[in-house]
Amino acid sequence: MARYREYDAVKRIAVLGTGTIGASWCSYFLARGYDVVAWDPAEGWRERLTAFIDTAMPQLRDLGTAVAKEGALVTADTPEAAVAEADFVQENAPERAPIKQELYARIDGAVPEQTIVATSTSGLILSDLQGGLGFAPRLVVGHPFNPPHLIPLVEVVLGKATDPGAGAWAHGFYGHIGKHAIYVNKEVPGHLANRLQAALWREAVNAVAEGLASVEDVNAAVAQGPGLRWALMGPHMVFNLTGGKGGMRATLEQFGPPIESWWTDMQITPTLTDDLKAKLIAGIEDEMGDRSIDDLEHERDTRLIGLLKMLRATERA
Amino acid sequence: MARYREYDAVKRIAVLGTGTIGASWCSYFLARGYDVVAWDPAEGWRERLTAFIDTAMPQLRDLGTAVAKEGALVTADTPEAAVAEADFVQENAPERAPIKQELYARIDGAVPEQTIVATSTSGLILSDLQGGLGFAPRLVVGHPFNPPHLIPLVEVVLGKATDPGAGAWAHGFYGHIGKHAIYVNKEVPGHLANRLQAALWREAVNAVAEGLASVEDVNAAVAQGPGLRWALMGPHMVFNLTGGKGGMRATLEQFGPPIESWWTDMQITPTLTDDLKAKLIAGIEDEMGDRSIDDLEHERDTRLIGLLKMLRATERA
């Protein structure tokens, strides 16, 4: 890792693509004291970015994430100019390989020698994007979770051409700035967290498809039940506490066989037919009642901030 | 429902079986102002029950769940005596059909005519337990989530012989006392919430089995990511907000196809071999470090109470 920058020497971060994910990253980096050079090709992007940051920064201050000396935002007219003096790059272009490949080709000569480039891609396989790039060894997946300025998780995935030292640098850097980075050791569609989410949703969709419960009751079956624990610990740690004093070993002995039999009973992969889609949409509309998407987003962010504050206040030393 | 008791006329609740689940129910009912008549066949159960209640009651007061006039605990020497004057019965015998069937046969003549009996069973099919019972129409599943005095969810499931009015009574009564009751419309192994939990765990086990990530990183992939949202809303509502202003419809259009392709890629059901079990146990021990199960339980309950307080404080009117 010696050939990459010391974390304390990182002063300026380039953010390429400033949709929801990119704008959220900008806010986070600014709050953590980094100067941000942002670029986006869309018309009116500067105004939308500024509006996003104006909403996000008070949340980050409230949360205690923001440092005393926040960074400054600069905007660039080209991606080449954005990365030219960047100590780290976070790329958030649309999720289509040709778009990202074209962008990478443009910045290839401009990224400084020691600078790591992380892509926020959730759906693409990094190895498919590295061909022919001079900075391929320094290109890594740094996949955040929405909204990235609030949710700690960042998944770090290396492509075939990625230098392991560059992966380690990115993993360490995210931790250095207060995110929770994990390694996903293989390139699989959806990385890890989205696959876990898709696995839960598969069964949630099945429950509606098979008439086991209403959309609202399926939601409550998580949010009023096991979901309350998943905010505090992951699924393996939950099962570690299911076994009483005997921990995971006792859980596996006592609950392993019934859970394996449920798994056998849970082999159906639903098809999202028009009928099923209509059921899901109607069920959600029932549950929403008079609340708009904006109301729900506001409620989610308020509660997410409350949750993160509580978790921080109860962290063990 | 007219032939069942008015909720306000319920004064005394019998709790049969006072292991972890039963003791937790006792605490909850007492906190809500109900007198509890408890019975258990094990030696030393009274002392263990009292000790549990002594820990749980301060939590319920702290949480604001306890009412001004808490109930009184009485213990009974037989299940028949416990239910004889009970306005509601919550049964928490061990999860083996013969044990529950024997218990039901004993109380069959003693349960008052208007009294609903709910079983906390997580793994048994209610219809298999109802044969030949006089109170079968009033026997319903009321499955809580551990720890029941803190987690709001109660799954209500009717057996073939259950009177729908009795099911509705139980569903309403749990709501009346501050739990969040849902209907599970079919009798399937594990009801709903445990199946959802098993679906997530299946993929979490696969991730370890296939070397995708360490046990600790899989845990973080949930608890530092989507788990934070599942404490606030269920999986369908999460996807309703994934689609931006377009809601569930937009999510299904944009993310339906990729998620369906991940589902196809996620067909493996792991077998809990000795090797895999050893990996899960070793991974959890790594993550636990110097923390004991007691430490982790204490941490979970403290944070769970903090989380529930925050949710209550941010409830919309």
The per-residue pLDDT for B264 is 87
B252 has a chain A CB within 8 A of its CB:
yes
Mean pLDDT across chain A: 95
Contacts of B184 (CB under 8 A, 6+ apart): A212, A213, A217, B141, B155, B156, B157, B191, B192
In this structure, chain B runs to a length of 317
The interface residues of chain B toward chain A in range 16-35, judged by CB-CB distance below 8 A, are 20
The per-residue pLDDT for A315 is 85
The interface residues of chain A toward chain B in range 161-200, judged by CB-CB distance below 8 A, are 180, 182-186, 188-190, 192-200
Whether B37 and B148 map to the same domain: the answer is: yes
- Rounded to an integer, the average pLDDT of B40-62 is 97
Cβ distance A229 to B193 less than 8 Å, yes or no, reads no
Coil/strand/helix, residue A183:
strand
- Rounded to an integer, the average pLDDT of B113-133 is 96
Q: Would residue A1 count as lying in a domain?
A: no
User: What is the DSSP code (8-state) at residue B177?
Assistant: T
The per-residue pLDDT for A2 is 54
Q: What distance in Å separates the CA atoms of residue B281 and residue A314, rounded to the nearest whole number?
A: 26
Supply the DSSP string of A9-73, one letter for each residue.
G--EEEEE--SHHHHHHHHHHHHTT-EEEEE--STTHHHHHHHHHHHHHHHHHHTT-S-SS---E
Q: pTM of the prediction?
A: 0.94
Choose one of A183, A208, A228: the last residue of a domain: A183
CATH code for position A288? 1.10.1040.10
Nearest CA of chain A to the CA of B112: how many Å? 31
Q: Would residue A217 count as lying in a domain?
A: yes
Closest-CA residue to A296 (of B251, B145, B152, B222): B251
Whether A88 and A163 map to the same domain: the answer is: yes
Q: What distance in Å separates the CA atoms of residue B270 and residue B210, rounded to the nearest whole number?
A: 10
Whether B13 and B124 map to the same domain: the answer is: yes
Q: Would residue B90 count as lying in a domain?
A: yes
Whether A158 and A205 map to the same domain: the answer is: no
Residue B1 has pLDDT above 50, yes or no: no
Choose one of A183, A210, A239: the last residue of a domain: A183
Whether B173 and B210 map to the same domain: the answer is: no
Supply the DSSP string of B279-299, one letter for each residue.
HHHHHHHHHHTT--HHHHHHH
Residue to test with chain A: of B143, B186, B232, B265, most A Cβ within 10 A? B232
B289 has a chain A CB within 8 A of its CB:
no
Closest-CA residue to B279 (of B184, B215, B224): B215
Task: Residue A228: give the domain boundaries.
Answer: 193-313
CATH code for position B153? 3.40.50.720
Choose one of B156, B183, B210: the last residue of a domain: B183
- Rounded to an integer, the average pLDDT of B146-164 is 96
Q: Would residue B39 count as lying in a domain?
A: yes
B300 has a chain A CB within 8 A of its CB:
yes
B69 has a chain A CB within 8 A of its CB:
no
Chain B residues with CB-CB distance to A305 below 8 A? none
Which of A24-38, A82-96, B264-278 is predicted least confidently?
B264-278
Nearest CA of chain B to the CA of A137: how many Å? 21
Whether B210 and B156 map to the same domain: the answer is: no
Tell me the ipTM for this assembly.
Answer: 0.96
Q: Would residue A136 count as lying in a domain?
A: yes
The per-residue pLDDT for B6 is 96
Cβ distance A182 to B264 less than 8 Å, yes or no, reads no
Q: Would residue B188 count as lying in a domain?
A: no
Whether A173 and A265 map to the same domain: the answer is: no
Whether B152 and B297 map to the same domain: the answer is: no
Helix (H) or strand (E) holding B51: helix B45-62
Q: Would residue B1 count as lying in a domain?
A: no
Whether B162 and B29 map to the same domain: the answer is: yes
Whether B210 and B137 map to the same domain: the answer is: no
Chain A residues with CB-CB distance to B183 below 8 A? 213-214, 217
Cβ distance A219 to B236 less than 8 Å, yes or no, reads yes
Indicate the number of domains in chain A.
2
pLDDT in tens, B225-268: 999 999 999 999 999 998 788 999 999 998 899 899 889 888 78
Whether B136 and B57 map to the same domain: the answer is: yes
Nearest Cβ partner for A311 among B151, B152, B303: B303
Q: Would residue B2 count as lying in a domain?
A: no
Whether A146 and A49 map to the same domain: the answer is: yes
